[in-house]
Every structure is written in C-alpha cells, then in structure tokens.
Structure 1
Amino acid sequence: MEKKEKKAKKEKAPKEKGNFNPLLLLPIMLVLAVVGSVAGSIIMNKFINPEKEVAAQKQSSTIEEGQQIVALNEFLVNLAKGKSGEQQYMKITISLLVDDKKTSEEVTTNVAVVRDAVVNLLRQKKADDILGSVDSVTKLKEELKLAINHNYGKDIVRQVYVTDFVIQ
C-alpha cells in the first residue's frame, strides 16, 4: 500500500520548473560569439570599409615588363623644427620605379637632380607631418614622386618605394 501512495505522490507532485543545466549555456554562448564575430567581420569588410580595399589595390602596383627599380643611397636630412623646438633628423632610403632601362640609366647618371628634389622636400617637413597620420607616408611618397618629376622636367618616376626610414 505504501508503494501505491508513493507512486501517487510522485504523479501528483508538479514537475520542478527551472531545472536548468548551466553546462549547456556555455557551448551555446560560444557558438553565438563565433557566429557574431564572423558576421561582424564580413559586414565590416564588405559593406562598411570597401574603399580601403580599393585603395590597397591601387597602391599594390605590379612592375610591368621592362620597368626598372632604381635604388638610391640613403638620405640623412635635417627636418624643420616642430612644436618642441628641437632639431630632428630623418634617415630615409628610397627606390624609384621607372619605365625602362634607358630611363634607369638616365636617373643613375643624373642622381644629383633626384637627390636635390628629395632633400629640398624633406627639409620642409616636420616629424609630425611625416608621422602624423596613418596615410602620411603614402602622401610623402606621392609628394616625393611629384618633386622628383618636377625637378627633372618630365615624368620619369612612376612610383616611389620607401625601403627604410627613421626619425630621431
């Protein structure tokens, strides 16, 4: 008789609500975090910042057949005095992309014209101008290209590559 009463009590007793297993929550949260991260990355890359990808493609120019790279000796230049009033120096090494071997030889022969353009441009710059923003080195490369071409009198430089630079 007691067995029947125990069974009856078990059947009559309501099932406990909130019988929650916290071990199940951890894998679910982990999966949600991974899915959210992947979705966020895709949205950022495809929709919010597509112009950075286009800019990177423009900058990553490939060297076409016949083009030459002319490596120049290192430049050590006094920069313009900044807010601190201290004299700063820049050591920079650049290489120039030119159209062909003939132009490469011409640049090598007239390297003084190129060096003059680079030194004159860099002496006007402050360290903050060069290090101030994310794309300041890219702007500097473009300014160097324009200055060299202007000093030379024609467009001989297609691209300027900065291979080393230090500001002290």
Structure 2
Amino acid sequence: MRHIAILLPLAALTACHKAPQESDAAAIAQVEAAQKERAPAREISPQVIDFFDITKGKLTGSGCNFVPDNGGMGAVLLAQEDRGIIKLDGAPVILAADKGSAKLPQHGWSHYTGREWALTLTRIDDGKGKTMGVIDSFTGQLIITDADNRPVYNAKGNVQCKPM
C-alpha cells in the first residue's frame, strides 16, 4: 500500500508535464532570435578635451594625448596610467586602463575599457616618431568600440606622450 501512495504523486507529476507544442517551439525560437538581435552600431565623434575639462575634472596626469589628423590641435584622448579619457556629448567618459596591454611611453597603455566603450591606441610604424627631451611623439591610430566590440570610431593622428 505504501508503494502505491508513493507512485500516485509521481504519476500525477508525469501527467502534468507535456511536451511543448509546435506553437510553443515557434514562440521560444522567436524570443531567442529577439534576444540575439543587436541595435545597429552608432558612430561616435569624440570631442576635444579642453583646458576647462581638464581643470574642472582634475584630469591631469602623465601619459599620451591623441590628436586626430585634420582635427586641429586638441586631443580627443588622454591615455594615462590608470585611466583613459574621451569626451562624448559634452562630458568626459572615464575608461579603466588595461595594464595587461602594451605599455606606451610616460605610463600610458594601449587599451582602456569601460561599460559602453573600449579603445585601443597603437603606434603606426612609419618612421615619424621622435623624442624631444621628455616628450615622445609618433603617428598612431585610435579605434573605439562599443559594448558589442564593434568599431564606432577609427582615426589616425599624432600621439604625444609626456609627463604632466
């Protein structure tokens, strides 16, 4: 009698569990497809980080500054020992230094990451590098990617590394 009492609840549970219907499988597939869908990559235009941004945000430090070709004289990236700084929509965006990436002169790094953005600053070996006292200058490339690792900004320009 005891065995029957144990088997009855198991039989009831088995009866409640049904295989998914075709419409259930289609609904599941539709939800999975929607979850994999990504919004299109949105190109960004980093703004010049000016003197007021640096003083107001206390953004001073040794490292490298990136100025894109045909971008004037203002840096759009400050690549420092502990952080990388870009300016988007009028506000500085702070990214953490990836201290496992390639080291640049004056305590800069080649890779910085954040929640929404990551960036890579690399030297372009074209013979244009020079050192003047404590300042290293060379041609470089800046690539910024979004949270899905898609490039949203790519520029070549001048990198200047100096103590601050």
What TM-score range do you get, normalising by the shorter chain?
under 0.3
Q: Find the structure with the greater CA-based Rg.
A: 1
Between 1 and 2, higher relative CO (CA 8 Å, sep ≥ 6) is seen in: 1
TM-score w.r.t. structure 2 length? 0.24
Question: More helix per residue: 1 or 2?
Answer: 1
Question: More strand per residue: 1 or 2?
Answer: 2
